[in-house]
C-alpha cells in the first residue's frame, strides 16, 4: 500500500443477515437516528428512488456517520485503486493514498462509540500502535548497537502498511455487499491485467509453450500470489455464486471461466512456492466442502464421495494432459540442488532459485542469532547483502531480500516483529470463528479467510510478499473486507444484547 499510511497512522490516538432483520434495523437506527420530514413531492420521490437504486451497488455506512464528502471521495478512489492497483503505478497509487486518508479521517473524527462499541478502541488499532512501538524500539536499538549502519531517520511504513485494512474497512462501512463489490472489482482488474500491464494473448501463448510469464505484475511469483488469491475466493464463495437465480447459467459460466483462468495463470507462472501454497489451501477448502456435504446430505455420503473423487480426478487428468510438462520440467530443474543440500555441500550450491534461497537463509540465521529480540533495524535485510562476508559477490550484487517474509521480518525487527504478525493473524481469525459461530458472518467468508491465511502463510516462506506492494495490496483488500464484517458483527451483537 502507499507509504503515506505509515506517516498518517501515528496521528490516530453471517450466514448473511437479511436486510429486513430486526437486529440490523436496530443497529441502523442507533447509528443513524431517524429524522422526521414532510411528505416528498413527486420529483423528490424520483430522486429518492434513484438513490435507492444506487444502493444496489453500494450501501450506506453502518459503522459510522460522517460528512458525505469523505465517502464520496474515498469510495471511488478505493474502487479505482482495487481495479488498477496491481497493473498500473501512478494513478492507482494516488487513488490509494486518497482512499486511505479519507478512511482514517472518518475513523478519527466520527468513530465515536455506538452501543458501547468504539471502533477507535478496537484491538486491531492497538496492534497498529504496537507496530509503531516495535519499529521505534528496533530503530533505537540499532542506533545503540551499530549506529554506523542504522537508518538515519525513524520509518514505520514497513510494519504499519499491514494495517491499511483499517481505513479500507471503514470505507466499506460494515456492509457485506460493499465487500463483495470491491472483491469483484479487484478480480475483474486481475483478470484483465494480462492486457493492461502484460502482453495479452501473446503472453498467454508463450506460457502454454513453456515460457515463464508474469503479465507485467512485478514478477512471476507475485503473479502467482495474486491469481492464487483470486482462485481461492472463487472456490470459497462457489455456493453463493452458483446458487439458482435469474441468469444463473451466465453467472456459472463466468465463474468457471474465471476459475480456470486463475488456476491456469498460477501454473504458467511456474512458481513452485505458489503451487505448494495452493495445495495446502485447497486441502482446507476440500475438507470444509466434505464436512458441509456430509452434514446436509448424510444419507448420500457415498455418492457424494464418489462424485467428488471423480470430479477431482477428471480435473487433475485434464490439467496434467494440458500443463503436465510445464510442471514436471519446473520440478526437475532443482533436482541437483536438492541432492547437494542432502549431502551437506552448501558451498557448492548453484545459483539457482533454490540455491540462492538456501545460501541467503543460512546467512540470515547467523545474523538473527546476534540480534534475536529486536533485530537490526528496518534496513536489516539490506545489511546482510551489503556487509556479509560469506555470501558470494554474485548474490550480493543481484539480490536485496531473503525471499522469505519471516526471515526478513526477524532480521529487521526481531522476534517482536514476528510476534506482532502472529497477533494480527490470530486476532482476525479468532474473531472470524467467534462471529461465525454466532451466525453473524457467513461460512463462505470464514472459509475464504482461513484458506487465504494458509495460502499466504505458506507462500511467504519462499518470497517476501509482506514487504512488497502486491502483498500489502492483498492484505488490505482481503483483510479490509473481513475486518469490516467483524466490526459490523460486533456492533450488531452489542445492539441485540442491549435490546433483549
Q: Kindly list the domain boundaries of the chain, sorted by start residue.
A: 7-14+60-335+401-498
- 3-state helix, strand, coil split of the chain in percent (to 5) is 75, 0, 25
Residue pair 123/98 in contact by the 8 Å Cβ criterion:
no
Distances (CA, A) of 364 to 345, 370, 384, 389, 391: 18, 10, 7, 12, 10
CB of 465 closer than 8 Å to CB of 225: yes
Report the pLDDT value the prediction gives residue 425, as an integer from 0 to 100. 97
Q: What is the pLDDT of residue 1?
A: 45
Tell me the per-residue pLDDT of 200-220, one tens digit each, with 9 for 90 and over: 999 999 999 889 999 988 889
The three grid cell numbers given for residue 382, joined into one nine-digit string: 539490506
Mean pLDDT across the chain: 83
pLDDT at 455: 96
pLDDT value, residue 331: 61
What is the mean pLDDT of each successive set of 10 residues along the chain, which is 500 residues long?
43 37 40 40 50 68 89 94 87 90 94 83 95 96 92 91 96 94 96 92 91 90 95 93 77 92 93 91 88 69 63 61 59 68 69 82 92 92 88 83 93 96 97 94 94 96 92 95 95 77
Say what the pLDDT of residue 343 is. Answer: 67
Q: What are phi and psi of 127, to 5 degrees?
A: -65, -35
pLDDT for residue 332: 66
pLDDT for residue 313: 66
Q: Which residues contact 320 (CB under 8 A, 6 or more apart)?
A: 327
Q: Please give the angle made by the CA atoms of 133, 486 and 225, to the nearest 5 degrees.
A: 75
**pLDDT digit string (tens) for 253-306?**
999 999 999 999 999 998 989 999 999 999 899 888 888 777 766 656 566 666
- pLDDT number for residue 9: 40
Q: What is the largest CA-CA distance in the chain?
A: 84
Q: What is the DSSP string of 99-114?
A: HHHHHHHHHHHH---B
Radius of gyration of the chain (CA): 24
Residue 11's pLDDT is what?
41
- In contact, 24 and 494? CB cutoff 8 Å: no
Amino acid at each position: 500500500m502507499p507509504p503515506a499510511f505509515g506517516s498518517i497512522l501515528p496521528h490516530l490516538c453471517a450466514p448473511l443477515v437479511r436486510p429486513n432483520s430486526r437486529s440490523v434495523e436496530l443497529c441502523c437506527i442507533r447509528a443513524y437516528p431517524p429524522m422526521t420530514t414532510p411528505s416528498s413531492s413527486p420529483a423528490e420521490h424520483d430522486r429518492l428512488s434513484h438513490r435507492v437504486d444506487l444502493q444496489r451497488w453500494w450501501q450506506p455506512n453502518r459503522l459510522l456517520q460522517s460528512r458525505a464528502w469523505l465517502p464520496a471521495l474515498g469510495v471511488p478512489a478505493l474502487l479505482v485503486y482495487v481495479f488498477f492497483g496491481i497493473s498500473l503505478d501512478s494513478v492507482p497509487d494516488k487513488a490509494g493514498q486518497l482512499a486511505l486518508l479519507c478512511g482514517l479521517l472518518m475513523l478519527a473524527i466520527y468513530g465515536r462509540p455506538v452501543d458501547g462499541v468504539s471502533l477507535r478502541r478496537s484491538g486491531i488499532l492497538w496492534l497498529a500502535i504496537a507496530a509503531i512501538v516495535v519499529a521505534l524500539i528496533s530503530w533505537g536499538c540499532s542506533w545503540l548497537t551499530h549506529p554506523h549502519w542504522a537508518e538515519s531517520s525513524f520509518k514505520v511504513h514497513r510494519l504499519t502498511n499491514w494495517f491499511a485494512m483499517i481505513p479500507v474497512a471503514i470505507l466499506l462501512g460494515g456492509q457485506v455487499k460493499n465487500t463483495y463489490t470491491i472483491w469483484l472489482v479487484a478480480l475483474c482488474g486481475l483478470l484483465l491485467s494480462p492486457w493492461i500491464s502484460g502482453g495479452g494473448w501473446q503472453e498467454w501463448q508463450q506460457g502454454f509453450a513453456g515460457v515463464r510469464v508474469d503479465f507485467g505484475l512485478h514478477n512471476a511469483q507475485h503473479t502467482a500470489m495474486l491469481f492464487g488469491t483470486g482462485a481461492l475466493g472463487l472456490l470459497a464463495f462457489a455456493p453463493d455464486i452458483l446458487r439458482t437465480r435469474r441468469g444463473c447459467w451466465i453467472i456459472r459460466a463466468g465463474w468457471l471461466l474465471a476459475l480456470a483462468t486463475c488456476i491456469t495463470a498460477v501454473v504458467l507462472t511456474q512458481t513452485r512456492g505458489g503451487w505448494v501454497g495452493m495445495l495446502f489451501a485447497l486441502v482446507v477448502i476440500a475438507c470444509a466442502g466434505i464436512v458441509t456435504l456430509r452434514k446436509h446430505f448424510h444419507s448420500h455420503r457415498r455418492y457424494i464421495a464418489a462424485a467428488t473423487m471423480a470430479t477431482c480426478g477428471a480435473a487433475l487428468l485434464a490439467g496434467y494432459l494440458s500443463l503436465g510438462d510445464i510442471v514436471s520440467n519446473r520440478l526437475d530443474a532443482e533436482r541437483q540442488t536438492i541432492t547437494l543440500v542432502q549431502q551437506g555441500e552448501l558451498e557448492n550450491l548453484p545459483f539457482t532459485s533454490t540455491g540462492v534461497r538456501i545460501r541467503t537463509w543460512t546467512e540470515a540465521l547467523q545474523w538473527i542469532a546476534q540480534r534475536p529480540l529486536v533485530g537490526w533495524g528496518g534496513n536489516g535485510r539490506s545489511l546482510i547483502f551489503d556487509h556479509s562476508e560469506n555470501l558470494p559477490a554474485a548474490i550480493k550484487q543481484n539480490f536485496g531480500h531473503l525471499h522469505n517474509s519471516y526471515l526478513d521480518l526477524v532480521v529487521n525487527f526481531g522476534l517482536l516483529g514476528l510476534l506482532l504478525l502472529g497477533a494480527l493473524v490470530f486476532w482476525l481469525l479468532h474473531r472470524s470463528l467467534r462471529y461465525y459461530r454466532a451466525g453473524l458472518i457467513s461460512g463462505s467468508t470464514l472459509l475464504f479467510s482461513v484458506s487465504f491465511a494458509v495460502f499466504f502463510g505458506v507462500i511467504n516462506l519462499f518470497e517476501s510478499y509482506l514487504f512488497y506492494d502486491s502483498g500489502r495490496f492483498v492484505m488490505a483488500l482481503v483483510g479490509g473486507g473481513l475486518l469490516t464484517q467483524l466490526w459490523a458483527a460486533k456492533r450488531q451483537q452489542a445492539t441485540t444484547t442491549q435490546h433483549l
